[in-house]
Amino acid sequence: MTNIIRHPDKAASKDYDVIIIGGGIYGITLALEAGLRGKRSLLLEKGDFGEYTSFNSLKIIHGGLRYLQSLDLPRFRESVKERSWFLKHFPHQVHPMPCLMPLYGKGLKRPAVFRVALLLNHLLSPGRNDGLDDDHKLPIGGIVSVKESQKIFPLVDTNGLQGSALWYDACMPDSQLLVMELLKTACDIGTTPLNYCAVQSLITSQGGTAIEGVRALDNENGKTYEFTAPIVINSTGPWCRTVIDGVGGDREELFRPSLAWNVSFNRPALSDHALAVQENTPGSRALFVTPWKGRIFAGCGHEPWLKGPDRPMPTKDQIKFFIGELNGAIPGLDLNMSDVHRVFAGLLPTVQSGSNVLTKREVIINHGAEQGPQGLYSVGDIKFTTARLVAEKIWGIIGKNNPGMVPPDTAMPVCSKDTYPQDNATEETLQTIFAKDKSIVHFDDLIIRRSTLWEKGPDAISDDLTEMFDWDDSRKIKELDKCRATMQALVPENSFAATKNDSLRREEHS
Ligand X SMILES: Cc1cc2nc3c(=O)[nH]c(=O)nc-3n(C[C@H](O)[C@H](O)[C@H](O)COP(=O)(O)OP(=O)(O)OC[C@H]3O[C@@H](n4cnc5c(N)ncnc54)[C@H](O)[C@@H]3O)c2cc1C
Please state, in angstroms and rounded to a whole number, the distance separating the CA atoms of residues 286 and 300: 9
Shortest Cβ 116–ligand X spacing (Å): 25
- Residue 60 or 461: the one with the smaller Cβ distance to ligand X is 60
* CB of 475 vs ligand X, minimal distance in Å: 23
- Distant-in-sequence, close-in-space partners of 196: CB < 8 Å, separation ≥ 6: 45, 46, 47, 48, 218, 219, 220, 441
Smallest distance from the beta carbon of 251 to ligand X, in angstroms? 15
In the complex with ligand X, the residue whose CB is nearer, 27 or 291, is 27
Closest distance of CB 230 from ligand X, Å: 19
Which residue's Cβ lies closest to ligand X?
24
Cβ proximity to ligand X: between 212 and 334 the closer is: 212
Provide the minimum distance between the beta carbon of 5 and ligand X in the complex, in angstroms, as a whole number. Answer: 18
Q: How far is the CB of 197 from ligand X (least distance, A)?
A: 7
Nearer to ligand X, 61 or 118 (CB): 61
Query: Could you give the CA distance from residue 61 to residue 175 in angstroms, rounded to a whole number?
Result: 10
In angstroms, what is the minimal distance from the CB of 303 to ligand X? 11
User: E-strand spans in 71-223?
Assistant: 95-103, 142-144, 163-171, 191-194, 197-204, 211-218
How many Å apart are CA 326 and CA 290, to the nearest integer?
Answer: 12
- Separation between Cα atoms, residue 319 and residue 385, nearest integer Å: 26
| Distance from chain centroid for Cα 308 | 19
Q: Can the peptide bond before residue 300 be classed as cis, meaning omega within 30 degrees of 0?
A: yes
Of 162 and 271, the one with the shorter C-beta distance to ligand X is 271
Instruction: Report the C-alpha gap between 142 and 221 in whole angstroms.
Output: 57
Closest to ligand X by CB, 232 vs 446, is 232
CB 44 within 8 A of CB 227: yes
Per the CB < 8 A criterion, the answer to whether 50 and 25 are in contact is: yes
Q: What residues line the site for ligand X (CB under 6 A)? A: 21-27, 44-47, 51-54, 56-60, 62, 198-199, 235-239, 243, 260-262, 299-300, 344, 346, 348, 381-385
- Pairing relation of β-strands 274-277 and 60-61? unpaired
Give the 3-state DSSP-derived string for 131-163, with helices as H, strands as E and coil as C.
CCCHHHCCCCCEEECHHHHHHHCCCCCCCCCCE
CB closer to ligand X out of 276 and 465: 276
SS3 91: coil
Please name the residues in contact with 468: beta carbons below 8 A apart, sequence gap of 6 or more. Answer: 427, 430, 431, 434
CB–CB of 296/264 below 8 Å?
yes
The least distance separating ligand X from the CB of residue 110, rounded to whole angstroms, comes to 26
Q: Are 351 and 257 in contact (CB under 8 A)?
A: no
- With respect to ligand X, which residue has the nearer C-beta, 235 or 350? 235
Least distance in angstroms from the C-beta of 288 to ligand X: 8
Nearer to ligand X, 271 or 378 (CB): 378
